[in-house]
Amino acid sequence: MTRQQAGPGLGPTARIAALAAARQAVAATAGQASSSGRRAPGPSTFGAAPVRAGPGPDLAGPQGGRCRSSRPAGLATHEGLRQMQLLEQAGTALGLASPYFRLHEGHARTRTRIAGQEVLNFASYDYLGLNADPRPRAAAHGALDHYGISASGSRMVSGTRPVHLALEEALARHYGCEAALSFVSGHATNVSLIATLMEESDLVLSDGYIHNSVSTGMALSPAARRSFPHNDLAALERILENARPLHRHVLIVVEGLYSMDGDLPDLPRLLALRDRYDAWLLIDEAHALGPVGRTGRGVFEHFGIAPSEVDIWMGTLSKSLASTGGYVAGSDELIRLLAARAPGHVFSVALPPCLAASALEALRLLGDEPGRAASLQANGAHFLRRAAELGLDCGAAIGAGVLPVMVGDSALASKLSERLLEAGINVAPVTFPGVPMGSARLRFFLSADHQPEEIDTALTATRAALDRLAAEGFSGVAGLMGQEV
C-alpha cells in the first residue's frame, strides 16, 4: 500500500519522476541554505516554468539570423540553474503551474486583471492605497513635465534635483534624524549601506528572517557576520557577550515589520541591548512604514519610542509611498559618508524626479490622513478574526498589512494559489527556500482600500480550496517524499 498521492491522477511512473526530482531539488536547495546559514535567495518553487504572454522580439544577429541560445557557453552547469530545473521538473510531475510572474493587464489595485479575468488582488503591497490616489500621480506628472523622465546622471555628477532634496528633508523630519539619502533601488540601499559602513574589524548581526538585501550587503562587506534565530534576543545577547570584545563596531539589523511573517521586533529590548553592548541598531522599515503604529509612522510609533533613539533607519519607497527606490535616515556624518562612498548611490543614476515627487506627496498624505493606517489595521484585525473562525493559521502576524496563511508544504501552497486564481483571487505563495522547509504559506498583502467582504470572500475560498485539495488526496511534496514507490 502506498500513502496518499502527491497529486490526483499520478501514476507510478509520474510518482517516481516527481519523487526523484523533488528529492534532488530539496537536497540541493537545503544544502545551499545550510551552507550559507541563511535562507537561499530567490523565489524558486515547485512549479513549471512561467509562461510568457507572447513571443519575445526577433533578435537578429550580424548575419540576420537569430541570436544563439547557447551563450554564455557552459551555463547548463550553473548550480542555480540546475536547482531551478529540478524544481520545475518536480512541479511538472506534480501538475503544478508556476505561481510567479503573473501578468497584470492594468492597474493592480484591490482588483486587477490577469489573463483577461478580473480578480481580487492580495499580492500587491499598496498598503495605504496611495498608488491609486490621484495626488501622488499628479505630483509625478508635474515633475515629469518639469524635469523630464530621467535624471540622466548620478547624484554626484549631474542628477540632483530640488525634489530629491525635498524628499530627503521630509524623510529626515519623519524619523527625527539630521539627514536622509534616497537611492534608486530599495534592495541596493541595504546592499550599499552595509557594504560601505561595516569594515574588516567589524561585526554584523542579523535576525534569521532578515531580507535578502541585508544578507547580500553582509556578504559583500569585509566585516564578520552572524545571524540569530528570529526574534530570539536571548540568543542575540549570548552572541554579543562573546563577540563584542573582538570587534571595533557591531551592527544589529532587524526589520520593523517582517515581510514573510507580519510580526514585529521587540524594539525596547533591542535598544537596551544596543546600549549595553555599545552597538549600532539598523531597522529596515520597508514594510513597517504605513502599516505599523497608530497613524502608520512605523515601529517607533507602535512602541512609543522617539525615532531619534535608533541609530539608522532604512526603508523603501515602493510600498506605502507609491513609488520605487529606497532611503537611509540617520546622522549627518552617516549620510555624508554614504553620499560619497556608497556604490549604489555614487555609481548609479539618481532616482527619477517624477518618482521622488510621488514619494514626497505620499509621505505628506501619510502624515495628513492617519485614517488610511487605521483602515488598514482594521482590515488586518478583521482578517485575523475571520481566519481564526475558519481554522486558518496566521502564525505570529499582528494584522499589519502582511498576513500569512500557513500551509506547510511548498507544493501544496503553490497548488492552493493556483486554485484560488481559478476562483478569482490572486495571492502568491512563499515556499522553501524563501522560508524554512515545512513553513510554506500564502502571503496576503492587505490595503486600506480592501473591503471586509472582499477579505471574507478570499478567506472562505482559501478554506474551501484547502478542504477540496485534501479530499482529492493532494498531500504535496511532503506526502510524495514519504511514499514507497
69 noted as active-site residue: no
**Which of the residues 319, 345, 382, 415 is marked catalytic?**
319
Contact 363, 130 (CB under 8 A): no
Contact 79, 41 (CB under 8 A): no
Contact 413, 452 (CB under 8 A): no
Q: What SS3 state is found at 114? A: strand
Which DSSP helix (H) or strand (E) runs through 328?
strand 326-330
Closest by CA to 204, choosing from 212, 39, 195, is 195
415 noted as active-site residue: no
Cα–Cα–Cα angle for 165, 169, 173, rounded to 5 degrees: 170
Show the cell assigned to 419: 486554485
- Strands of 141-229, DSSP E: 179-183, 203-207, 224-228
213 noted as active-site residue: no
**Which of the residues 44, 192, 206, 259 is marked catalytic?**
259
State how far the Cα of 226 lies from the Cα of 251, in Å rounded to an integer: 11
Q: What SS3 state is found at 209? A: coil
For the beta sheet containing 117-121, the strands, ordered from the edge strand earlier in sequence to the opposite edge, are 111-114, 117-121, 425-426
State how far the Cα of 77 lies from the Cα of 79, in Å rounded to an integer: 6
Rounded alpha-carbon distances, angstroms, from residue 7 to 19, 96, 100, 422, 475: 12, 9, 20, 17, 7
State how far the Cα of 67 lies from the Cα of 69, in Å rounded to an integer: 6
**Which of the residues 287, 345, 382, 450 is marked catalytic?**
287
Q: CB neighbours of 390 closer than 8 A, spacing ≥ 6?
A: 459, 460, 462, 463
Q: Would you please indicate which residues are annotated as catalytic (active-site) residues?
A: 259, 287, 319
